[in-house]
Structure 1
Amino acid sequence: MNRDFRLLWIGQGLSGLGAEVSSVAYPLLVLATTGSPSRAGLVALVANAPFVVLQLPAGAYVDRWNRRAVMLAADIGRALALGSIAVALALGRLTFAHLLIVAAVEGSLFVLFRLAEGAALRQVVPASRLPSAIALNQARGYGATLAGQPVGGWLFGVAPLFPFAADAVSYLASLVTVAAIRTPLPAPPPTAERHLAREIAEGVRAAWQNRFLRTTALLTTGSDFVINGLFLVFVVIATRHGASSTGVGLMLALGGAGGMLGAVAAPALARRIRSARSVRLVVAGSVWSGVPLIALASLTSQPVRLGLLLGLVLAVWPLYNAVVTARWMTRFPDALMGRVQSAVALLGWAPVPLAPWVGGLLTEHLGGARTVLAFAVLMLAIAVTATVVRHDDPVDRRTVEPASR
């Protein structure tokens, strides 16, 4: 990979590491101060809500603005937001409302950064290398989880403010690497007068009309709901059975290790996935593999076992993402990338912000084991749907050109 991709990859690796460090600290801090799983889920809901609320307008604006400027502004804002938690904890002035506000700000800026980074990826990486770049980005994310979750748990045990201070510093590191990228990252020139609603509709229409993209995004919705709900449920189960903050971090790191191993193998495997039948097998098989593993997780409360099962669940998804994402990204022009990405994210993430909150509520009322079983049943329903529903092979679909405005 070229220099600019390496800079982008390293910077996001550092900021991703910081985000994982603070992500384990959020529920630990809420559980330690309030003892309420539903409140911990509420913080996660607020952090994830921008994935639904802001996706479409953010995608349109990313297609208007300089992509580097968007990423730099997002890094500055996130550094200030996370730093404010560390300062408030040091002064003994942190409130639950403050946590909710920072979670909303960080989640909103993450949406903008993610869309700008995805659009920039098309500019810094040749189309032929996109599957490898996407897999490397996934490996980066899982590697950050592997290292960041136990470090975050350990730092929280030393002092609750440390994970949030570390995350703030990581965003400053990302700021430096993004600024050093040489490739120009301008927004595509407008073809006509700007009209926000029309631009959003164009991106949604382009995404929805692609049957492959539409089908896989909706299947991803259900599986992501299950997996994101399980993260908080596993944390609650482990802490209720005496696990330390370090033990919780280790549990989540084992999940990241499984995902990272899957991401390492994904590029070589993705190159072998060419036929429509192979794509369908990857899509359905990824969902089916999670059903028995999640069911088994209902039988234990031991953090290492929960982490190993989570790692096995996550190990198959990098191949799914590498195959699916690379195939549709090369079928849309740069002028539509921000809006199509936002439409896909909205399709795939619409109910996901509710997952931790639902998981927290179910755990309070049903207990951990029954909640995990409920998620296993939901994953089974998604697997059956993935097997029955057919979709077009995207290889034969032509590039979608933006409509005139």
Structure 2
Amino acid sequence: MRGKMRIPKRSEFALVWTTSAFSTVGTRTLGVAYPLLALGQTQSPTAVGWTGFALAVPVLILYVPWGLLVDRISPRAVMLFAEFCRCLTVATVLVAMFFGGPSLAHLIIAALVEGALWGLCNLAETAMLPSLVQPVTMWRALAKSEGAAHFASLAGRPLGGYLFGAGSYIPFAMNTALFAVSWGLFFSLPRTFERRPAGVSLLHDLSEGFRVLRRLEFLRSAVRLVTLTNLLVNTLIMIFIAGSAGMSSATIGLVLAVGGVGGGAGAVVAFFREPGRSILRVHAWIWLLALTVAMLGALLAAQGEAWPYFALAFFLTGFGGALSNVAIRVAEVTLISPGELARVVAVARLCSFGALSLAAPLGGALVTWYGVTGGSILLFAVMLIIMGVSWRHDGLTPPMPDIPRSFRHSYRAKQALRRAHRTMRTANERVRLAKLIVDTIEEVVVGGDADMTEAEPAVGRLAPAGSQITGQSLGVRFEVSGQRGCRCGDCASCELRSRPHPA
């Protein structure tokens, strides 16, 4: 066989999907372990803040350059490089812990590298999807990826805290092994990549993602809407945390984790039901319902505990966010050429993460000025205005383009074709069985004729239509020949042979 045998596309996507889920678990555990280790080494809350900032800031600075890099280099090579460097970075922290370290500078640099390489690996996975997944099943593949991200995030943060409590070195040892395994698994992916030509200038290539996104109405509006709603929900999270005085830490963690559960549930629904044309409007309605529930919880806080209302609100936002994320990612993969995909996705993610960075100070300011109740009412009012604008004008919530819907029709046609093939195979098998039965009967009849002719030549034989005597029981016309060519029909031999055969 010429060349190297290639694994099926379904296995390739399963490999990328599984490895990405493990990588996300590692990122979430490190997002907890790095600040906790900084606090344990320095006993300074400021060090904790700088370490958390180091994990988040590379996304804001490097996402667009990383998009250009992924569009120019093989995504497989990018993922191999990113996983190897992440493994090496975590290993340096682990080794330093056995020698009394690491220092605060070491931790901040390691956190910067981890945040930067996570964004690079995330973009490379997105750019690799069109070569691994058939268009008719793209929405199912992206639903799997979205669900894995939500469940990995849900499990990663508690796991990081638990492992660090069991031993400060355990989360770093686990992630060293996890990144090493991921790096080894990515070697199984094929080397399929066409090098794309560079543009007229580096600045032109970097800004190409903004220009492409501006030309695509649905994606442009989706990024605008998702940025606003992400800002609102993360501000609501800060309002809830600021007003959680008197609650146990377990209750606070449970309420915040419900959002991840809602995201997982939304991904499951998206897997079985492809995105509809009005997905952005559904997204806006879900957000309005969630902020209404949170406002009611803040208003009723004086009469009882408000955390169940906030938990329901976070579940709804996670559920709606997963549905819209799958639809937006399907539109990205199907509407954008592979040579520009990573840069456009980088611009979209940059807007979303920018909203996350603004949510914390905005939530603190709202609680300071208006309190928990006033802040919740203000967020509801803003979302109500957004919903009113989207109801009057489709510019904020345009329908999803027709290309993903044609994929849905193609998928259904493919399923119908498969059913037709199964029906044809069943019919062919029945025809072959009937032919076999007929052939067997003919062999038996011909064999019986031959035996009768050899034993008694004068025995009656089948004859064509128009012969002298008709058998009543079989309804077959046949000719009777007597002994020695007798054809009188009066002798005993003729009378015996002319009797109908019993049924």
CA–CA distance in structure 2, aligned partners of residues 198 and 356 of structure 1: 34
Q: 1:219 to 1:88 in 2, by over 3 A?
A: farther
Q: Partners in 1 of 2:235 and 2:274 — Cα distance?
A: 28
Question: 2:284 maps to what in 1?
Answer: 284
Q: Which residue of 2 aligns with 1:255?
A: 259
1:133-160 CA distance string (max 9 Å, x none): 1111111011212332332222122123
1:135 maps to 2:143: yes
* Change in CA separation of 1:145 and 1:201 when aligned onto 2, cut-off 3 Å: closer
Do the aligned residues in 1 keep the contact of 2:296 with 2:309 (CA within 8 Å)?
Answer: no
Of the three residues 323, 327, 334, the one matched with 1:323 is 327
String of CA shifts for 1:149-198, please: whole Å, max 9, x gaps.
3322221221233223323332222212222123x3425432x6663211
1:152–1:303 CA distance, 2 compared to 1 (3 A)? farther
Other-structure match for 2:86: 78
Asked whether 1:2 is paired with 2:23, we answer no
Q: Is the 8 A contact 2:123 2:342 kept in 1?
A: yes
| 8 A Cα contact 1:63 1:187, kept in partner | no
Task: Tell me the CA shift for residue 16 of structure 1.
Answer: 1.4
* 2:221 paired with 1:220: no
Q: Is the 8 A contact 2:270 2:326 kept in 1?
A: yes
1:115 alignment partner, one of 112, 117, 123: 123
CA–CA separation in structure 1 for the residues paired with 2:230 and 2:149: 16
Match of 2:271 in 1: 267
2:389 is aligned to 388
Please provide the CA RMSD for this pair: 3.6
| Secondary structure class of the residue paired with 1:333 | coil
Contact 1:76 1:172 survives alignment (8 Å): yes
1:152-231 counterparts in 2 under 5 A?
152-182=160-190, 184-190=191-197, 195-228=201-234
> For 1:100-119, what per-residue CA distance to the aligned partner results, in whole angstroms no more than 9, with x for missing partners?
32222111111211111101
Aligned to 2:500: none
2:315 maps to what in 1? Answer: 311
Q: Which consecutive unaligned segments of at least 5 residues does structure 2 have?
A: 1-8, 405-503
Which of 73, 85, 98 is the matching residue for 1:65?
73
By relative contact order (CA 8 Å, sep 6+), the higher-ranking structure is 1
1:329 shift after superposition: 2.5
Partner amino acid, structure 1, of 2:386:
T
Gap runs ≥5 in structure 1? 399-405
Report the residue type matching 2:146 in the other structure: Q
Indicate if the aligned counterparts of 2:334 and 2:403 stay in contact, CA closer than 8 A: no
- TM-score if structure 1 supplies the norm length? 0.81
Q: Deviations over 1:68-127 (max 9, x none)?
A: 111111111222223333344444424444333222211111121111110101111112
Alpha-carbon distance in 2 for matches of 1:155, 1:103: 18
Change (3 A) 1:279 1:307: closer
Change in Cα spacing, 1:237 to 1:172, as seen in structure 2 (3 Å) is: farther
Q: Which amino acid aligns with 1:186?
A: F
Offset of residue 326 of structure 1: 0.9
Q: Which of residues 35, 57, 60 in structure 2 aligns to 1:49?
A: 57
CA distance in 2, matches of 1:203, 1:311: 32
Percent of matched pairs sharing the same residue: 28
Choose 133-142 or 53-62, whichever is displaced more: 53-62
- For 2:292, give the aligned amino acid: P
Do the aligned residues in 1 keep the contact of 2:219 with 2:331 (CA within 8 Å)?
A: no
CA distance in 1, matches of 2:179, 2:274: 31
8 Å CA contact retained: 1:258, 1:312? yes
Rg comparison, structure with higher value: 2
Deviation at 1:131, TM superposition (A): 1.2
SS of the residue corresponding to residue 75 of structure 1 reads: helix
3-state SS of the aligned residue for 1:189?
coil
Of residues 5, 12, 24, the one that matches 2:20 is 12
Offset of residue 55 of structure 1? 2.0
Kindly indicate whether the alpha-carbon contact (under 8 Å) linking 2:294 and 2:309 is maintained by their aligned counterparts in 1: no
The count of corresponding residues between Structure 1 and Structure 2 is: 386
Point out the more displaced range, 62-71 or 11-20.
11-20
Report if aligned partners of 2:60, 2:354 keep a CA contact under 8 Å in 1: yes
